[in-house]
Amino acid sequence: MDYVTVGKLLQRFFEEKNIEYAVIGGFGLLAHGIERATFDLDFVTVQSCQDELIGELERRGYETLHRAEGYSNHLHSDADLGRVDFVYVNRSTAEQLFASTTKVEILPGFEVQVPKPEHLAAMKIRALKNDPRRQRQDLADISQLMTLTNADSGEIEGYFEALGIGHLFTEIAKRDD
Q: What is the pLDDT of residue 46?
A: 97
pLDDT 10s digits, 90-137:
999 999 999 999 999 999 989 999 999 999 999 999 999 988 898 889
User: Do residues 60 and 133 share a domain?
Assistant: no
User: Do residues 133 and 63 share a domain?
Assistant: no
User: Do residues 33 and 10 share a domain?
Assistant: yes
User: Do residues 129 and 102 share a domain?
Assistant: no
Report the length, in residues, of the chain: 177
User: Do residues 111 and 24 share a domain?
Assistant: yes
User: Do residues 22 and 105 share a domain?
Assistant: yes
Q: Indicate which CATH number applies to the domain containing 8.
A: 3.30.460.40
User: Do residues 100 and 166 share a domain?
Assistant: no
Range of the domain at 172: 116-177
User: Do residues 67 and 3 share a domain?
Assistant: yes
User: Do residues 4 and 27 share a domain?
Assistant: yes
The residue out of 88, 115, 142 marking a domain boundary is 115
User: Do residues 134 and 50 share a domain?
Assistant: no
Outline where the chain has alpha helix (H). 3-16, 25-31, 50-59, 91-99, 117-130, 135-146, 153-162, 166-176
User: Do residues 106 and 143 share a domain?
Assistant: no
**Residue from 149, 148, 34, 145 nearest 169 by CA:** 145
What does each of the 177 residues of the chain score in pLDDT, given as a tens digit? 999 999 999 999 999 999 999 999 999 999 999 998 888 999 999 999 999 999 999 999 999 999 999 999 999 999 999 999 999 999 999 999 999 999 999 999 899 999 999 999 999 999 999 888 988 899 999 999 999 988 999 999 999 999 999 999 998 887 765
Q: What single DSSP character describes residue 134?
A: G
> Residue 110 in contact with residue 124, Cβ under 8 Å?
no
The residue out of 73, 96, 115 marking a domain boundary is 115
The residue out of 115, 134, 165 marking a domain boundary is 115
Q: What total of structural domains would you count in the chain?
A: 2
User: Do residues 19 and 99 share a domain?
Assistant: yes
Residues 59-63: contacts with CB under 8 Å, at least 24 apart: 60/9
Q: What single DSSP character describes residue 89?
A: E
